[in-house]
Structure 1
Amino acid sequence: MDNTTYQLKHLNINFNDHTITSNGVGLSIDHKAVEVLQFLISQEGQTVSTESFMNQVWRDKPSAPEVVPAAVARLRKLFKMAGITDELIVTVHKVGYRFEPPNKETAETGHYTIRKSRINPKVEIGLIVLFGIMVISLLINWINQPKSSKPSTELTQLSSIKPKSNTEVTQIYILRHAEKVDDSADPDLSAAGIERAKYWKKVLQHTEFDQVFTTDFKRNIQTAELIADESSVKPELYHPMSFEVLKFLQLIQGQKVLIIGHSNTIPDMVNRLINDTRFPPMSHENYNILYVVTLDKNGAASTVKLHIEKPEKLMPE
């Protein structure tokens, strides 16, 4: 094991900085919990006693033994929020804990087969608005065509998700919320954000969504409502930090769904949906990316990443 870093599925653990990132996005965790994890990993497969933790991790800060299970609980919570369902830290009754890494074959191959490389089509500068929308619509219609062959934010309103469709293809469209009015805790969309959301509606006008999901923030809800306007679909809420991929995919099998997310959660979500680390973190200034994840009945995944600017940015000055 590298003494400074450790890769745990899509998590990168830096023992020097006491940080854990998920596909480049920092996760909140304290130093002592990271030290506990480092000690467990160094003793992989062996049971580490509570006394050993106290001597190794808390040697410079005398504490009660209860700090050990508390640190383990924080680590387990972080793993769950990051979408890792494996039992990585095993409790050995009345003794201590044991670290068991995920099955290497499962970690490397996952549950899905990636058969199609990502595509990066860009609308060329100077195209008129009508032609731009037509090109985008044609591309999305092509994405919507069934492929030759179904395979994670815990949903808060799972009971309202529609039953499985009779189709064999599942399609997930993932967008960031449009521009916000300011940097306050929960701002509304700005005028520019409203216009961008309306433009996304035009781009997606030929796609009929079975479900629309959004986080519980005004800017996300407003973006979702503007896109789903004039349809019978009502946005449902989800929590991006407890996204259970397999459960979610089973619930939306055969459907077309739209997810409105955030710049610091979308790439991680897409990577987990396709069981890959292909997509890096998004810039906080970027509002023009649409991800489309398609899964056939056998679980084979393909991903399209579209860069779509608003019309006024396409026109020459």
Structure 2
Amino acid sequence: MRARYILLLLICFQVSFSQSQNKEIKADETIYYFIRHAEKDKSSPENRNPKLSKKGQLRALNWAYFFREIPLVTIYSTNYIRTITTAEPVAGDKNLPITIYTPKEVNINSFKKKNYGKSVLIVGHSNTTPEFVNAILGFEKFKKMKDNDNSSLFIIKEIKGDVIVERLSISF
């Protein structure tokens, strides 16, 4: 029953984006999409900047497919191999550059002002992704992600002062 509900939710979610596929978002509508990097290669635990595993490479390609009909304007990534290579297929598909950010140096008010009226993707980590989502929201809603959670998609929609936030688990 739960699986059917999740499937129905995902279908409805995808349909809502498909209906707006070639439309730009409205000037008073800002949408933030947050994902954690795809699965990393854990063969060398001491490596603090690993590449993606084969499974992670496939997930990165699937994220590109997922975002294909979503009119992203900017793609942000931390300066790590695993986050950049998660963002690259989406950026390549959209013909967009990847803008590097440092989570501890982001001024949230400036970030929100810079991205007002845009649809942006932010690729981060298990700790920085929920922290960034919480900072955009202005309160703590989400805790650190589990280390095996590479499928969460956080969406914040700001429309005419109203804020809608969702956390979805996207399986490929």
TM bucket (normalised to shorter chain) is: 0.7 to 0.9
TM-score (norm 1): 0.48
**1:134: Cα distance to partner?**
5.1
Structure ID, larger Rg: 1
One of 160, 165, 172 as aligned partner of 1:303: 165
Cα distance in 1, alignment partners of residues 20 and 107 from structure 2:
25
Cα distance in 2, alignment partners of residues 175 and 143 from structure 1:
21
**1:223: Cα distance to partner?**
0.6
Equivalent residues of 2:68, 2:93 under 8 A apart: no
> Secondary structure, in 3 states, of the residue corresponding to 2:94?
coil
C-alpha change, 1:306 and 1:135, in structure 2 (3 Å) is same
Give runs of ≥4 in structure 1 deviating > 3 Å: 122-125, 131-136, 139-144
TM-score (norm 2): 0.85
**1:228: Cα distance to partner?**
2.1
Partner of 1:178: 38
Partner of 2:79: 216
Partner of 2:138: 275
**1:243: Cα distance to partner?**
2.0
Equivalent residues of 2:153, 2:169 under 8 A apart: yes
Matching residue's letter, 2:15: L
Cα distance in 2, alignment partners of residues 231 and 179 from structure 1:
22
Partner of 1:138: 15
Equivalent residues of 1:173, 1:291 under 8 A apart: yes
Partner of 1:189: 52
| Number of residue pairs the alignment of both structures matches | 166
Matches within 5 A, 1:76-155: 124=4, 135-141=12-18
Cα distance in 1, alignment partners of residues 83 and 140 from structure 2:
25
One of 103, 124, 128 as aligned partner of 1:240: 103
For structure 2, the 5+ residue unaligned runs are: none
C-alpha change, 1:245 and 1:194, in structure 2 (3 Å) is same
Partner of 2:125: 262
Cα distance in 2, alignment partners of residues 123 and 204 from structure 1:
23
> Secondary structure, in 3 states, of the residue corresponding to 2:131?
helix
Structure number with the higher helix fraction is 2
Percent of counterpart pairs with the same letter? 26
List per-residue Cα deviations over 1:155-198 (Å, max 9, x = no partner).
Answer: xxxxxxxxxx8611011000000011123111111110011111
Cα distance in 1, alignment partners of residues 69 and 151 from structure 2:
19
**1:247: Cα distance to partner?**
0.5
**1:275: Cα distance to partner?**
1.1
C-alpha change, 1:169 and 1:226, in structure 2 (3 Å) is same
Equivalent residues of 1:136, 1:203 under 8 A apart: no
2:88 equivalent to 1:225: yes
List per-residue Cα deviations over 1:215-254 (Å, max 9, x = no partner).
Answer: 0000111110112222221111000112211110100110
Cα distance in 2, alignment partners of residues 180 and 187 from structure 1:
6
Cα distance in 2, alignment partners of residues 304 and 143 from structure 1:
19
Matches within 5 A, 1:3-82: none
Name which structure has the greater RCO, CA cutoff 8 Å, separation 6+. 2
For structure 1, the 5+ residue unaligned runs are: 1-121, 147-164, 311-317
Cα distance in 1, alignment partners of residues 16 and 125 from structure 2:
24
